[in-house]
C-alpha cells in the first residue's frame, strides 16, 4: 500500500481499473483500496494483491468515438461533418478539451456499416461526458447534412425442410 501511495498510482477520486474491478477510488489505506463501480458496488482490494492499476483520471483523458455510417455514405463529407462538429464542441467546452479534435479516419468496414474514429483529448475524467455530448451533436449534424446511419442487419438461417413425396398424388 505504501508504494501505491508514494508512487501516486491513484488516490481518492481517481477512476481506476485494477483488474478485478473498475471504479472511483473512495479510500486508500496502507492495507487496502476501496472503490465504487459504475453500478454502485463497493469493492475492497488488499493493496498487496494489486498487481497493476490503470488510472483513467490522471493527467488527461481521451474521448474516443467510433461513429457508424451507412455503407453508401460519402466518407469525405461525413468526416468533414464530424470534424466541424467536434471543433464546435471543443470551442464550447474549451476549459475541458485540450487541443484540437482529430478525425483519425476509417476504423472498420463491416457488412452493415463503416466506422469513422474521432478522438478528443480532455482534462482528467471529462472524457466520458465529452464523448456523450459529441455523440448527441454528431447525430444532430448528420440529420441536418443528410448522412445516413447504418441500418440494422440480421442473419437468418433456414434449414431445408424435408417434405414427404407421394408419387400417387
Q: What is the mean pLDDT of residues 109-130?
A: 96
Q: Are 80 and 37 in contact (CB under 8 A)?
A: no
Q: What is the pLDDT of residue 40?
A: 95
Q: What is the mean pLDDT of residues 79-106?
A: 97
Above 80 in pLDDT, residue 106? yes
Q: Which residue has the cell 483529448?
A: 121
152, three cell numbers: 440494422
| pLDDT tens profile 19-52 | 889 999 999 998 999 999 999 999 999 998 888 8
More confident residue, 70 or 4: 70
Please state, in angstroms and rounded to a whole number, the distance separating the CA atoms of residues 29 and 163.
72
Q: What is the mean pLDDT of residues 97-115?
A: 96
155, three cell numbers: 442473419
81, three cell numbers: 461533418
| C-beta contacts of 16-22 below 8 A and 24+ residues apart | 16/53, 16/54, 16/55, 16/56, 16/57, 17/53, 17/54, 17/56, 18/45, 18/50, 18/52, 18/53, 18/54, 19/50, 19/51, 19/52, 20/45, 21/45
Amino acid at each position: 500500500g505504501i508504494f501505491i501511495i508514494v508512487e501516486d498510482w491513484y488516490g481518492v477520486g481517481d477512476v481506476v481499473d485494477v483488474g478485478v474491478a473498475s471504479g472511483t477510488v473512495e479510500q486508500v489505506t496502507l492495507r487496502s483500496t476501496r472503490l465504487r463501480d459504475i453500478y454502485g458496488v463497493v469493492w475492497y482490494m488488499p493493496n498487496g494483491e494489486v498487481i497493476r492499476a490503470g488510472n483513467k483520471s490522471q493527467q488527461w483523458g481521451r474521448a474516443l468515438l467510433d461513429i457508424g455510417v451507412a455503407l453508401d455514405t460519402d466518407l469525405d463529407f461525413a468526416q468533414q461533418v464530424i470534424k466541424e462538429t467536434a471543433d464546435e464542441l471543443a470551442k464550447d467546452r474549451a476549459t475541458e478539451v485540450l487541443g484540437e479534435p482529430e478525425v483519425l479516419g476509417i476504423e472498420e468496414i463491416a457488412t452493415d456499416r463503416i466506422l469513422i474514429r474521432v478522438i478528443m483529448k480532455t482534462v482528467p475524467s471529462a472524457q466520458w461526458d465529452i464523448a456523450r455530448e459529441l455523440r448527441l451533436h454528431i447525430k444532430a449534424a448528420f440529420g441536418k447534412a443528410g448522412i445516413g446511419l447504418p441500418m440494422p442487419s440480421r442473419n437468418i438461417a433456414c434449414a431445408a425442410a424435408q417434405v414427404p413425396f407421394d408419387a400417387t398424388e
